[in-house]
Amino acid sequence: MPISAPVIHSKLPDVGTTIFSVMSKLAQEHGAINLSQGFPDFPIDSELANQVSAAMAAGHNQYAPMPGLPALRQALAAKLQASGSPVDAETQITITAGATQALFTAFAALLQPGDEAIVFDPSYDSYVPSIQVQGARAIRIPLRAPEFVIDWQRVAAAVTPHTRMIVINNPGNPSTAVLSADDLTELANLAEQHNLLVLSDEVYEHLVYDEARHHSVLADPRLAPRSLAVFSFGKTFHATGWKIGYCAGAAALMSEFRKVHQYLVFSVNTPAQHALATYLADASHYTSLPAFYQAKRDILRQGLANGPLRLLPCRGTYFQLVDYSALPSHLSELDDADFAIWLTREAGVAAIPLSPFYAERCGHKLIRLCFAKQTATLQAATARLASL
């Protein structure tokens, strides 16, 4: 008798390869300039690299403590305190294997089967699958375009007895929107009224432009006791391949977070933690980032200003949304996914379409470009895009 294969009941039957992997692979195949996946094409600070080497040479090559190196958590507590977010290094901060692991761990620790979590479309693509794997349900509410603002009345109407959590992304990827102080007030009102948890993705905390200010849930006295916030060293220090981030928030929530974290990754790269603890002592390493990336944003925007692509406002992150609806009809009538493929193959620039970040077809003619690139890369890309 032939042996039959085991039946697999997928927890994520509708999930395929992420759009980031798809577009980066297509860019490589066609030799296109890759403005799709969000990673810099310039090196990390040599000082930080040298500190990693020094940590390895000093013998810091074995397991770090499960919550993270105490010196690093203390440096982060001081950093958060300086920005108006008081947290305890011992009980309220955990070092993670990147922000995506931190997000997944938070969902796993805090959501039960049958719970509902509200997310805002366009939403970062890891949120919904991570919610679904827990047996919970994502309630997806579209942001109001073209400014990508939250309709708080619609959010209030979506709350049910099953609603457990609201997920925010501030600054937003791919929307590039930055939440205002009024937004956090609305969020706090809703969270208190319905006793909701808040998971805040703040990986682009330092990438806020035009003298705007980033408002963290950890700095809000009403939100802090019911919130976890997620951050990324990879985004902050141009080292996305390190996959190191951290989660901070209420001690009771962090206790549950660590119960899952210890069996998911246990601990995170030890020499890199030592290096980051030392590197954070100089605040200019992150306070200089808004000006650094705003200059890159402006190079991209200036290069496209007189071309056929319409620029949407970019208030945060290192992404720029552009509208291609003014292009000739054989291009403007393409949906965003097909246009992104055409752009990669024919124009030699890879971008990310916006539709994968929505539950339903959004109808936008928008693509996302990453400007975390060298000036030469941006100038070469804008020359191609401006001539469409």
Q: Are residues 190 and 151 in the same domain?
A: yes
Q: Are residues 269 and 322 in the same domain?
A: no
Assigned domain for 5 exists: no
Assigned domain for 2 exists: no
Q: Report helix, strand or coil for 257.
A: helix
Domain extent at residue 313: 19-44+287-386
The answer to whether 303 and 279 have CB atoms below 8 angstroms apart is no
Assigned domain for 260 exists: yes
Assigned domain for 104 exists: yes
**Cα distance between residue 134 and residue 11, in whole Å:** 9
**Cα distance between residue 300 and residue 320, in whole Å:** 8
Q: Which ranges constitute the DSSP H helices of the chain?
A: 19-30, 46-57, 70-82, 99-110, 127-133, 152-158, 181-194, 233-236, 251-264, 270-279, 284-287, 289-304, 329-332, 336-342, 375-386
CATH number for the domain including 318?
3.90.1150.10
Last residue in a domain, options 281, 297, 324: 281
Q: The tokens of 186 are what?
A: 């609305």
Q: Are residues 184 and 86 in the same domain?
A: yes
Assigned domain for 295 exists: yes
R_g of the chain, CA atoms, integer Å: 21
Q: Are residues 201 and 88 in the same domain?
A: yes
CATH number for the domain including 63?
3.40.640.10
Assigned domain for 365 exists: yes
**Cα distance between residue 260 and residue 171, in whole Å:** 27
Q: Are residues 346 and 274 in the same domain?
A: no
Query: Can you state the angle between helices 270-279 and 46-57, rounded to 10 degrees?
Result: 130
**Cα distance between residue 335 and residue 353, in whole Å:** 9
Q: Are residues 213 and 223 in the same domain?
A: yes
Q: Are residues 257 and 292 in the same domain?
A: no
Query: Can you state the angle between helices 375-386 and 289-304, rounded to 10 degrees?
Result: 30
Residues 6+ apart with CB under 8 A from 373: 35, 40, 41, 42, 296, 381
| CA 150-108-191 angle, 5° bins | 35
In this predicted structure, what is the pLDDT of residue 1? 65
- For the chain, residues with pLDDT lower than 70 are 1
Q: Are residues 274 and 335 in the same domain?
A: no
Q: How many CB atoms lie within 10 A of CB 267?
A: 19
In this predicted structure, what is the pLDDT of residue 14? 86
Q: Are residues 40 and 51 in the same domain?
A: no
Last residue in a domain, options 256, 281, 306: 281
Q: Are residues 92 and 167 in the same domain?
A: yes
**Cα distance between residue 356 and residue 349, in whole Å:** 19
Encode pLDDT of 175-210 as tens digits. 999 999 999 999 999 999 999 999 999 999 999 999
The answer to whether 314 and 323 have CB atoms below 8 angstroms apart is no
**Cα distance between residue 104 and residue 199, in whole Å:** 11
Last residue in a domain, options 251, 281, 311: 281
Task: Report which secondary-structure segment, H or E, holds 123.
Answer: none
Assigned domain for 232 exists: yes
Encode pLDDT of 295-319 as tens digits. 999 999 999 999 999 999 999 999 9
Assigned domain for 4 exists: no
Q: Are residues 98 and 201 in the same domain?
A: yes
Q: The tokens of 276 are what?
A: 């980051």
Q: Are residues 243 and 305 in the same domain?
A: no
- Domains of the chain: total: 2
**Cα distance between residue 349 and residue 376, in whole Å:** 14
